[in-house]
Chains A and B, each alone.
Chain A
Amino acid sequence: MLLPFIFVLLLVGGAVLAAQSSINGRLGAKTGVIESAWLTFVMGAVLIFLLVFFFEPTHQATLFSVPKWQLTGALFGVVYMLTIVFAVPRVGTAAATVAVISGQLLMSLLIDHFGWLANAVRPLDGSRYLAMALLIGAIGLIYLSHQQRQRRLINQPS
């Protein structure tokens, strides 16, 4: 019952990410890498602070009481945002997306397999290996589509 709902949520999350990297890449090219990333994080912080202030139920642990290493996620987010804003105008959205996706998959399967960072262990089995092969195939297809488009552009300059 819950699963289809989560899946729809995940789809929306991914769609939003695609829209965000194309908008931010464009903004970064027009202003600057740090400026674009800064605006994204400041607006995000303002919005989420309002949500926490009014809607977050009280928890026993707070951000100030959990072990500090659990707070390091932000560093990865900042590096990602800066890299995307820098890379999209230089290598193109398609190539950047393919690279991000490869990195994400590789690391997420490792995290699940070994249960790193206090996550539940979900070992790699036959069907997950097959899924991984399919994903690599999908990334290959996106790359091919990009290549073919480049060739068309060279053959018919507009």
Chain B
Amino acid sequence: MKHALILLGVLVAGMGLSVEAGLLGPLGEQVGHLSATLSIFLVGALLLSLALVFSPSPKLATLFRQPRWLLIGGILGPIYVIVLTLAAPLVGIGMTMVGILCGQVGASLVIDHFGWLGSERRKVDGYRVGALVMILAALWLM
């Protein structure tokens, strides 16, 4: 039951991600794609800084005791948002999201298969390959 609630929350967060993409496309056309991306990260960083100051048990110090490669998530985010702002006005949100999806599922297959990024090693199975093929077909249709 608790899991179902968490999953519902994640689903709503996913819907929000598409709204973000829908807002970023037109904004990028007006003020420039990089500036549009900056607005996302700057506002996010400022809001979370506030949250951090008032969080009940701040664990900021533990952040820098982690292996360095665990901290590169912040470098990957901008790459994703830049791609989003460039592609959305040209091919539409639907097509953009399917392309992203394709890369996401493909990469998660590869990450799992080779056990990269500290994730546990899982062999590729028929289901996952089937899923990738169906996504490719959907992309071709859209």
Secondary structure dominating the interface of B: helix
- Whether A30 contacts B66 by the Cβ 8 Å rule is yes
Whose C-beta in chain B lies nearest to the C-beta of A31? B62
State in angstroms the CA–CA spacing of A135 and B49 once bound together.
37
A116 touches B44 (CB 8 A): no
A117–B22 CB distance below 8 A: yes
Q: How far is the CB of B94 from chain A (nearest CB, A)?
A: 5
What chain A residues lie within 8 Å of B19 (beta carbons)? 73, 76, 107, 111, 117
Point out the residue from B30, B79, B104 that lies within 8 Å of A101, measured CB to CB: B104
- Pair B27/A71 contact, Cβ less than 8 Å: yes
In the complex with contacts A19-B117, A131-B138, A103-B10 CB distance below 8 A: yes
Q: For the complex, give the distance between the alpha carbons of A104 and B87 in Å.
A: 16
**5 closest A-B pairs (Cβ-Cβ)?**
A14-B103, A43-B74, A103-B14, A10-B99, A13-B83
Q: Count of A residues near B, CB < 8 Å?
A: 106
Q: Mark A98-142, 1 if CB is under 8 A from B, else 0.
A: 011111111111011000111110100001101110110111011
Beyond contacts A27-B71, A71-B27, A134-B138: 19 other A-B pairs, Cβ-Cβ < 8 A, are: A10-B102, A13-B100, A19-B76, A23-B117, A27-B66, A38-B48, A43-B74, A45-B41, A59-B32, A61-B31, A74-B47, A77-B17, A93-B108, A100-B14, A107-B15, A108-B96, A119-B22, A148-B125, A149-B122
Within 8 A of A (CB), among B92-121: 92-94, 96-108, 111, 117-119
